[in-house]
Amino acid sequence: MTADDIILDKLSAWARQESPTHAPDGVNRMMDLVATEAREAPIAVERIPGQGGLGDCLILRAGPERDEPSVLVLSHLDTVHPLGTVERDLPVRLAGDRLYGPGVYDMKGGALLALEAYKDVARQGQARRPLVFLFTSDEEIGSPMTRPIIEALGRKAAYVLVTEPARDGGKVVTARKGVGRFEVEVEGRPAHSGSRHQDGRSAIREAARQILRIENMTDYLRGVTTTVGLISGGTAANVVPQHCRFSVDLRVTNAADGEAYAAAILGLTPHDPDVRVRVTGGMNRPPYEKTEAVARLFEHAKKVAAELGQSLAETPMTGGGSDGNFTAALGVPTLDGLGIDGDGAHTLEEYGLVSSIAPRRELMARLLATL
Ligand SMILES: [Zn+2]
């Protein structure tokens, strides 16, 4: 078997090991697979037990044991695909250069190629700085458990490399929008829709007006979007509804807009004085802005890639957040999108391009050895 066949085999096995965020047993088996791989090289493994129904995390350490700023690699091993997806809707299969399977692109492919690169560099003793590799279990739900771990390791890092999927033919990510999440609960007054209509205060009617208000905050020129993506309410077709609740997703390009729009959403007041509107939530991931330091890190990656015969491009600011948002917001230069190329993240058409694995692994190894 060639090196390419071996990594393809491993990635197929990783994809078959389903690991949705809320299935901690599956996520933990993924962590077992990583720990097993790490034993093949001089790598120290620390396991942090999961909490609140989430899977464990792993921290790998290699390179010099000096107390100086590290290079931190971030990968998540949870996926959005529920258990059974690999049996029913998205079997692991190779079609030409495409490897289909749950999480292949987002982001088991990136996690695996970075781990292989990490092992290579650890074995060859090439690291100039301590190399820390964090595997997390809850990225797909906004990293509620691992955010403090990411930030603690981030504060000790000189650089952060994130293995989220590459974009459009291998582009890396140097900026991401910030993400806010809000829950809105509306409470009116129930009544029989036929005999007592005038006594009712419809929570759904009020929610509808609030939703339009929120959706109208979208400003494409400014890079701000608001989406009400979930809604529930009412009890029966012939009852003026007492309750309605919905979720709001907010995306912004900079921290000031994050504060301003979060305040606007949290400050929503009812149109109808007899109806209560309660908003909870706030900014979840701060914006990841392309600072001077991020630009310098990208230039370094471009130079290293050129030495490997690769041309590396960056994608314009993307709307999707990642754990890189947390470290970038701390001011630590962060480079993201270093994972596998492919498409279909979060869909049943998800695939990774097998031909992108070897060059990305080489690039990651050179970055780990030169930063
Ligand atoms: Zn991801």
* Three-class SS state of 119: helix
What is the reported pLDDT for 4? Answer: 85
| Ligand 1 centre distance from Cα of residue 184 (Å) | 27
What is the reported pLDDT for 211? Answer: 98
| Ligand 1 centre distance from Cα of residue 76 (Å) | 7
| Ligand 1 centre distance from Cα of residue 174 (Å) | 15
- Asked whether the CA dihedral 161, 167, 169, 174 is positive or negative, the reply is negative
CATH architecture for segment(s) 178-285: 2-Layer Sandwich (3.30)
- Residue 270 to residue 263: CA distance in whole angstroms: 16
- Residue 207 to residue 202: CA distance in whole angstroms: 9
| Ligand 1 centre distance from Cα of residue 164 (Å) | 5
- Residue 174 to residue 314: CA distance in whole angstroms: 7
- Which whole-number Å values give the CA distances from 119 to 31, 38, 70, 358, 371, in the listed order? 16, 7, 16, 14, 16
| Ligand 1 centre distance from Cα of residue 79 (Å) | 8
What is the reported pLDDT for 143? Answer: 95
Q: How far is CA 37 from the centre of its chain?
A: 23
What is the reported pLDDT for 253? Answer: 95
The fold of 3-176+288-370 is: Aminopeptidase (3.40.630)
What is the reported pLDDT for 3? Answer: 81
81 secondary structure, DSSP code: P
| Ligand 1 centre distance from Cα of residue 80 (Å) | 9
| Ligand 1 centre distance from Cα of residue 109 (Å) | 10
Q: What is the pLDDT along the chain (371 residues), one digit of tens a residue?
A: 788 889 999 999 999 999 999 999 999 999 999 999 999 999 999 999 999 999 999 999 999 988 899 999 999 999 999 999 999 999 999 999 999 999 999 999 999 999 999 999 999 998 999 999 999 999 999 999 999 999 999 999 999 999 999 998 899 999 999 999 999 999 999 999 999 999 999 999 999 999 999 999 999 999 999 999 999 999 999 999 999 999 999 999 999 999 999 999 999 999 999 999 999 999 999 999 999 999 999 999 999 999 999 999 999 998 889 999 999 999 999 999 999 999 999 999 999 999 999 999 999 999 999 99
| Ligand 1 centre distance from Cα of residue 103 (Å) | 8
Domain ranges of the chain: 3-176+288-370, 178-285
Instruction: Check if 3-176+288-370 and 178-285 are the same fold.
Output: no
